[in-house]
Amino acid sequence: MITEKRKQTIKLILSLTLLALLFIFVIIMMIKYEVEGETNMPYNLSKIIVVGTVEGMEKGDSNKKEWDMDIYQNNDVLFYIDKNPKNTSDELIKSVKISNINITKAPQKGTVKAYMPNSKAGRAYVYDDQFLVQEKLEYKGASQSSSTNLEIGSKGGSAKICFSNTSIGNYKSKKDTEMVHNSTLLKKIETTNAEISFSVSFDFMIETTEAKYQAEISLNLPTDNLDEEEKSYLEKTDMTDVVFKRVK
């Protein structure tokens, strides 16, 4: 016959076992969330396109007979955000923010700066201090995307930023009759791809009318070897390394 004391011991063991299993389950779910993040967001970052170019920025009077240019390596980064067809909520995009920009690996030559799209007519980007991204770059939700107005479609759209390695070197010439703006400019200033390569990380936040989701994104730039290619191009659709988590 099982004594009352033995019954209590069995109950205690069962209770402790259930608590241990519950604790293990919670730990597993926490680890799973850390690895996978949010799996059913109302909007997904579906694609990132990076276009890398090399440009010469003329100094002074461009009508002079001598070329005098500072060489920049520019990386235009475009983010596409689409409605998640598996999520039936009627949430709208309130804003998209790019913040906490860090140069995790600096280039041997040049200085990396982040630029927002030009709000004036003409070029998509103007490499002037008035367009530098300071603490963050924010796109507000609107009827449709407009990079010049820093707006993104409230039901999905695109946003962009440029990471530019500025003032890699200076090129002067009286012999060149015309100038081609591609990686051949690096050869003219005797600079290699390895010397201008850098890495950048930043936080990317999608804020909806109901919640905020944030992920860290890292990029190695330029995305191709400019010793061999005239420009670089990357189209990233695999986002398994971009883990979004809900934030307050």
| 106-135 per-position pLDDT tens digit | 999 999 999 999 877 678 898 989 999 999
Q: Which residues pair with 177 in a beta bridge?
A: none
Specify whether 173 is located in the same domain as 201.
yes
* Residue 175 phi, psi (nearest 5): -90, -35
Mean per-residue pLDDT over the chain, rounded? 89
Residues 24, 138 share a domain = no
The residue written with tokens 């004594």 in the block is: 3
pLDDT value of position 173: 85
CA distances from 28 to 21, 23, 24, 247 (A): 10, 9, 6, 20
pTM of the model: 0.85
CA 79 remoteness from chain centre: 8
Q: Are residues 53 and 24 in the same domain?
A: no
Condensed to tens digits (0 to 9), the pLDDT of residues 59-82 reads 765 556 788 899 999 999 999 999
Residues 164 and 191 placed together within one structural domain of the fold: yes
Return the sign of the alpha-carbon dihedral for residues 233, 191, 70, 138: positive
One-letter identity of residue 184:
T
Q: Where are the alpha helices (DSSP H) in 116-240?
A: 184-188, 193-196
The pLDDT of residue 214 is 96
Judge if 80 and 150 occupy the same domain: yes
Domain that holds residue 2: 1-36
Within this chain, do residues 23 and 44 fall inside the same structural domain, yes or no? no
**Structure-token match 């240019």, residue found:** 69
State yes or no: cis peptide before 42, omega within 30 of 0.
no
Q: Are residues 123 and 18 part of one domain? A: no
Longest Cα pair distance anywhere in the chain, in angstroms? 109
Number of domains observed in the structure of the chain: 2
**Co-location of 113 and 159 in the same domain:** yes
Pull the structure tokens for residue 245.
Answer: 């988590």
Strand partners, 221: 198
